[in-house]
Structure 1
Amino acid sequence: MKDVKSQASKSSVPGKGGLNAEIQSRIGHQLRAMYDDVVRQGVPDRFADLIRKLDAPQGGAGGDPAKNNGRE
């Protein structure tokens, strides 16, 4: 972790206290690689079933919104 901090402090723009474009780009690539893997995993079936149940109308079409816990 010290290497990252020392590299960031050496590479940052003097006076601005931020990270330079190269370091921001590297961080962006790492985050995309990590989250792309998560996105490819998809939604588990039990979560998809739960979402379908929550989206299904309760008590038929045109039901009373008060009976639907305020959901529209």
Structure 2
Amino acid sequence: MSDDHSESASAMADGPSSPLGDGNGTVLGSDIQAKIGQHLRAMYDDVVRQGVPDRFMDLLSKLDKADTTSGEGGGRK
């Protein structure tokens, strides 16, 4: 049991763990990090390409009209 405690203490003394690790000293390799980055970029690009749905644009337009009719005091920022 004292071995577990001493390992934890030495891990803490080495500095903070990597944000991509599991807290137990396991860190993702650079090849895996690169692959995750590629997938995240692809997903983001897909979302950007989809654009804003028409119903959201209609709602934003209605909100903008409501802001101009109610005056500057009650507008969105």
TM bucket (normalised to shorter chain) is 0.5 to 0.7
Which structure has the larger Rg over C-alpha atoms? 2
Q: Which runs of 5+ in 2 are unaligned?
A: 1-20
C-alpha deviations, 1:46-69, integer Å up to 9, x for none?
11111222233153433x53xx6x
Which of 33, 43, 52 is the equivalent residue of 2:42? 33
Distance 1:55 1:20 in 2: 48
Q: TM-score, normalised by structure 2?
A: 0.52
Q: TM-score, normalised by structure 1?
A: 0.55
Task: Considering Cα pairs closer than 8 Å and 6+ residues apart, tell me whether 1 or 2 has the greater RCO.
Answer: 1
Paired amino acid for 1:41: Q
Quote the sequence identity (%).
52
Runs of 4+ in 1 over 4 A off after TM superposition: none
C-alpha deviations, 1:7-35, integer Å up to 9, x for none?
xxxxx8xx731201110010110111122
Q: Which runs of 5+ in 1 are unaligned?
A: 1-11
Corresponding residue pairs, total:
54
